[in-house]
Amino acid sequence: MKRAVLLGVLMVVGTIGMAAKQATAPAQGTAPPPPPLTTEKIRDNLFVIKGGGAGNTAVFVTAQGVVLVDTKLPGWGQRIMDQVRSVTDKPVTTIINTHTHADHTGSNEFFPASVEVVAQENTKTNMEKMDAFKGEKAQFLPDKTYKDKLTLNSGIDRIDLYYFGAGHTNGDSIVVFPTLRVAHAGDLFPRKATPLIDVNNGGSGVAYPETLKKAVSDITGVDEVITGHDLVLPWSALAEYGEFNLAFLDATKVALEAGKSVEDAVAQFQMPDKFKDYGMNGLKDNVPKIYAELKK
Ligand SMILES: [Zn+2]
């Protein structure tokens, strides 16, 4: 709801901006095209498609076909396919959605209904609430779901999906390619910064550190992690991200116990020095969300 309202505001602002531009500038033709997607090779058969103002899409080329992890925003399907075609001629057979958000599920609808869509069961429930998956478009919802762990394929093509509890939403998968020793963490680890905690989709700032801790202790044999929106990082960065979120939770608890208002807690917020390179843009959003959870 909040996102829809924000989008509405942005569109209004955008319209005003465009009108102003048209009034003052000579006609320049159509709007500039969106920036092109880029594809980064991670392994011989694993690639990451970045860009589009959306989540990182992993491309895993198996014997049977291509497995995509996340499909960016609506309308980006052809551009995703153009990137896939730059590395393989095989058909897309499977889509894994790490979680419900439109910048990770938006172009599911571009792919044939025969493509198997896989997600954690709570994510399917969350997707069913989205207008983008109602009516005719329900055919692009996950076909296969799981609760805690699911293995797809076997041998060198094996993929393990894990769910460890609430965090960014209540249905975040970590997708592991065990032969390649690489994982895709989706928005459970979006970048080195405060996460979005989507409480409307079951996200939890209180559970977040514990969820990451479980992931770090249960998943073994991984060297690199594809973040939801940013770089591919060493696997150890996920453990550090868990520590970052625990420090954030602890600092929020201390502020609440000291009787601070949300405003004072935000203004006086202190994180350990080791996290000084982490983005803190979510501070103002996350403190009240965690306050509300702790008060329950
Ligand atoms: Zn997300």
Cite the DSSP H helix spans in 232-272: 236-257, 262-267
> How far, CA to CA in Å, does 107 sit from each of 17, 113, 248?
28, 12, 34
pLDDT in tens, the chain (296 residues): 344 444 433 333 333 333 333 333 334 557 776 678 999 999 999 999 999 989 999 999 999 999 999 999 999 999 999 999 999 999 999 999 999 999 999 999 999 999 999 999 999 999 999 999 999 999 999 999 999 999 999 999 999 999 999 999 999 999 999 999 999 999 999 999 999 999 999 999 999 999 999 999 999 999 999 999 999 999 999 999 999 999 999 999 999 999 999 999 999 999 999 999 999 999 999 999 999 999 99
Cα of 92 vs centre of ligand 1, distance in Å, is 23
Cα of 32 vs centre of ligand 1, distance in Å, is 27
Task: For residue 67, give every residue at least 6 positions away whose Cβ sits within 8 Å of its Cβ, in sequence order, or none.
Answer: 58, 59, 60, 92, 93, 94, 95, 96, 152, 159
**Do residues 47 and 31 lie in contact, with contact meaning Cβ atoms separated by under 8 Å?**
no
Cα of 187 vs centre of ligand 1, distance in Å, is 5
Backbone angles phi, psi at 205, to 5 degrees: -75, -20
Cα of 54 vs centre of ligand 1, distance in Å, is 9
Cα of 156 vs centre of ligand 1, distance in Å, is 29
Token pair 């509300």 in the structure block, residue: 292
Cα of 211 vs centre of ligand 1, distance in Å, is 16
pTM: 0.88
Task: For residue 38, give every residue at least 6 positions away whose Cβ sits within 8 Å of its Cβ, in sequence order, or none.
Answer: 49, 50, 51, 83
Cα of 168 vs centre of ligand 1, distance in Å, is 7
Q: What are the chain's domains? A: 38-295 (3.60.15.10)
